């Protein structure tokens, strides 16, 4: 057993289904989502005053399994997606804090989404599932936090689409947050980010097995979903990371095939990532979550904008905005725009850009500098 594994915890997935009539959620679209279920996991111990809770929000294809191992994983082969960051003595120390991570609405990892059974029909929702927004996801999370009896969160932390949720928390429920750490994220998608998401969605909808979302009782649009993942994965890396890892190396051969077989290692890698993704994710969920990310906009909307913080929080939330130098999906200039917008509303803001050549996914890669910054900031909130 490695030293990292020895500091891990055994966890389990739990499910929160509010009792009637609270088991419905009025969405931003005006639709009402019935039979709400939130999948979540917790780590550490909630203090007697319930003042040491940290909510971690995951990226679009993530889930509630942020750290540790499930009890039936005896070989400890499937750690949580932020295993290096969350746990006893780690950057987010579960010896001190009670950590919550819930699966977002619209996903396929335990919370209600398009693959869930529609109580009105007894069949999976498919495209009859209502459109959800980042705001709707956060409203669902608040129901869970209220259920746990927590009045105020020590911090809300998340990267990428998780960072959008962090920002949404600050404008919707500022009184419930002592600190916010949005990582590798943006106030709203650029045209480039929307374009990549649309190409990914079209690759799914062009798959003949997609069948307008009604594929749950037959063949699934695995090819379209795999291509969508390949497209997305390119945006998570950087030119330097791909050059260092792959370059123009050939895959298992010494010369070109002079055909359309896989010749390069980078091609093989992307095929692998696509095939692995279809084993754990739902194509319709990708459609819904990427659309929710595209809709997210803290600048140009009628309510719950950053400007609202000036009245609501009066600088009481401590912000730590983090970016990575090689992230070209959500570049550092977007993080700096967020910092300026927060300062204009009188917020208490710190900013850190890490020099890292791993691209957007850098926040998911172990880095002691990153862990130390989070540990110091989180512990300093109390002081």
Peptide bond between residue 21 and the one before it cis (omega within 30 degrees of 0): yes
Our measurement of the distance from residue 9's CA atom to the centroid of its chain's CA atoms, rounded to an integer in Å, reads 21
Shared domain check, 230 and 127: no
Residues 312 and 223 in one domain: no
In a domain, 292, yes or no: no
The mean pLDDT of 348-373, rounded to a whole number, is: 96
Going from the C-alpha of 71 to that of each of 6, 56, 68, 169, the distances in angstroms are 14, 22, 9, 32
pLDDT at res. 300: 87
**Does residue 283 lie within any of the structural domains?**
yes
CA separation for the pair 207, 226 (Å, rounded): 11
Q: Count the domains in the chain.
A: 2
Residue 325 lies in a domain: yes
Q: What domain range is 255 assigned to?
A: 194-287
Q: What is the pLDDT of residue 7?
A: 61
Residues 334 and 378 in one domain: yes
> Residues for the chain: how many in total?
383
* Domain boundary, last residue among 287, 320, 341: 287
What CATH number is associated with residue 210?
1.10.1740.110
Same domain? 129 vs 277: no
pLDDT at position 1 is 45
Per the domain annotation, does 233 fall within a domain? yes
Structure tokens at 112: 């209600």
Q: Are residues 88 and 113 in the same domain?
A: yes
Q: What angle do CA 47, 52, 56 make, to 5 degrees?
A: 130
Are 208 and 95 within one domain?
no
Q: Supply the pLDDT for residue 310.
A: 77
Q: Kindly state whether residue 160 falls inside one of the protein's structural domains.
A: yes
Kindly state the average pLDDT of the residues 7-16: 88
Per-residue CA distances from 157 to 62, 166, 167 (Å): 14, 6, 9
Residue 120: CB partners within 8 Å, gap ≥ 6?
A: 34
Residues 167 and 134 in one domain: yes
Among 252, 287, 322, which residue terminates a domain? 287
Percent of the chain residues past pLDDT 90, beyond the cut: 85
And the tokens for 289? Answer: 């979550």
Query: Domain containing 38 — which CATH number?
Result: 3.40.50.1820
pLDDT digits (tens, 9 = 90+) for 234-261: 999 999 999 999 999 999 998 999 999 9
- Same domain membership, residue 174 and residue 240: no
Residues 266 and 335 grouped into a single domain: no
Closest by CA position to 250, among listed 269, 264, 267? 264
The predicted-structure confidence for 173-200, as pLDDT tens digits, reads as follows 999 999 999 999 999 999 999 999 999 9
Residues 179 and 199 in one domain: no
Which pairing describes strands 38-43 and 14-16: parallel, antiparallel, or unpaired?
A: antiparallel
Given pLDDT bands bounded at 50, 70 and 90, which one contains residue 325? very high
Lowest mean pLDDT segment, chosen from 50-59, 174-183, 306-315: 306-315
Q: Which of 258, 287, 316 is the last residue of a domain?
A: 287
Same domain, 105 and 20: yes
Residue 22 has pLDDT above 80, yes or no: no
Residues 316 and 175 in one domain: yes
Give catalytic residue positions.
160, 327, 360
What is the arithmetic mean of pLDDT over 285-292?
98
């Amino acid at each position: 057993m490695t030293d990292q594994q020895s500091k891990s915890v055994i966890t389990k997935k739990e499910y929160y289904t509010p009792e009637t009539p609270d088991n419905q959620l009025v969405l931003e679209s005006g639709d009402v989502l019935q039979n709400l279920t939130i999948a979540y996991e917790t780590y550490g111990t909630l203090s007697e005053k319930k003042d040491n809770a940290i909510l971690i929000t995951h990226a679009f294809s993530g889930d509630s399994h942020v750290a540790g191992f499930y009890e039936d994983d005896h070989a400890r082969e499937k750690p949580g997606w932020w295993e290096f960051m969350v746990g006893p003595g780690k950057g987010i120390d579960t010896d001190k804090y009670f950590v919550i991570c819930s699966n977002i609405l619209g996903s396929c990892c335990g919370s209600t989404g398009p693959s869930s059974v529609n109580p009105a029909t007894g069949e999976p929702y498919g495209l009859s599932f209502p459109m959800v927004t980042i705001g709707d996801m956060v409203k669902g999370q608040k129901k869970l936090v209220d259920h746990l009896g927590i009045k105020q969160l020590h911090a809300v932390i998340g990267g990428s689409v998780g960072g959008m949720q962090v920002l949404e928390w600050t404008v919707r429920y500022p009184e419930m947050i002592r600190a916010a750490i949005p990582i590798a994220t943006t106030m709203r998608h650029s045209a480039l980010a929307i374009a990549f998401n649309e190409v990914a969605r079209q690759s799914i909808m062009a798959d003949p097995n997609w069948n307008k979302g009604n594929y749950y009782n037959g063949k699934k649009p695995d090819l379209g979903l795999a291509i969508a993942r390949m497209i997305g994965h390119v945006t998570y890396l950087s030119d330097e990371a791909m050059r260092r890892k792959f370059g123009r190396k050939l895959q298992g051969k010494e010369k070109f095939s002079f055909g359309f077989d896989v010749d390069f290692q980078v091609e093989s890698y992307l095929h692998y990532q696509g095939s692995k993704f279809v084993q754990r994710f739902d194509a319709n969920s990708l459609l819904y979550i990427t659309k929710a990310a595209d809709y997210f906009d803290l600048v140009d909307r009628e309510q719950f904008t950053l400007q609202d913080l000036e009245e609501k929080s009066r600088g009481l939330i401590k912000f730590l905005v983090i970016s990575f130098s090689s992230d070209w999906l959500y570049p550092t200039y977007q993080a700096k725009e967020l910092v300026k917008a927060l300062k204009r509303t009188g917020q208490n803001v710190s900013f850190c850009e890490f020099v890292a050549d791993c691209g957007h996914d850098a926040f998911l890669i172990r880095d002691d500098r990153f862990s130390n910054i989070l540990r110091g900031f989180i512990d300093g909130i109390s002081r």
